[in-house]
Structure 1
Amino acid sequence: MFDTEMASSTDSSATVDDEVRQLYERYQAADSDEERHEIALEMGKLDGRRHAEIYAALEDE
């Protein structure tokens, strides 16, 4: 059974996965290199946020 911390971590991961999926779909549908570049920057920020969450969780252990 999940404790509250694990459940919230799982919920957060699901939210990030949804955001990644949406960004990827936008990237695939982009009409210009400039638009794809902007979306790629958003993907990078999201990836950085995901890594920060992982490191914070490791520090809490």
Structure 2
Amino acid sequence: MSTFDTEMASSTDSSATVDEEVRRLYEQYQAAESDAERHQIALEMGELDGRRHAEIYAALEDG
């Protein structure tokens, strides 16, 4: 397996984990019973999105 293939595999694994976390948060958001709960979940989604962008930018710098 080449270095590129290894990087792609780890990137895919990371994306799958992030996608699962996004799905979980979205389901929690839909089930939230109050605006306060939805607000807290939205903040978590924002943090997750920030980490995702940080990973993308890091991969671009390494590339």
Do both proteins adopt the same fold according to a TM-score greater than 0.5, normalized to the shorter chain? Answer: yes
Question: In the TM superposition, what is the alpha-carbon distance from 1:13 to its structure 2 partner?
Answer: 0.3
- Name the residue aligned to 2:16: 14
Structure 1 residue ranges (4+ consecutive) displaced by more than 2 angstroms after TM superposition: none
Q: How many residues align?
A: 61
Percent identity at matched positions?
Answer: 87
- Name the residue aligned to 2:35: 33
- Name the residue aligned to 1:43: 45
The one-letter amino acid paired with 1:8 is S
Q: Which runs of 5+ in 1 are unaligned?
A: none
Q: Which runs of 5+ in 2 are unaligned?
A: none
Name the Cα RMSD after superposition. 1.2
Look up the SS of the partner of 1:37 in the other structure: helix
Question: In the TM superposition, what is the alpha-carbon distance from 1:22 to its structure 2 partner?
Answer: 0.2
Question: In the TM superposition, what is the alpha-carbon distance from 1:3 to its structure 2 partner?
Answer: 1.1
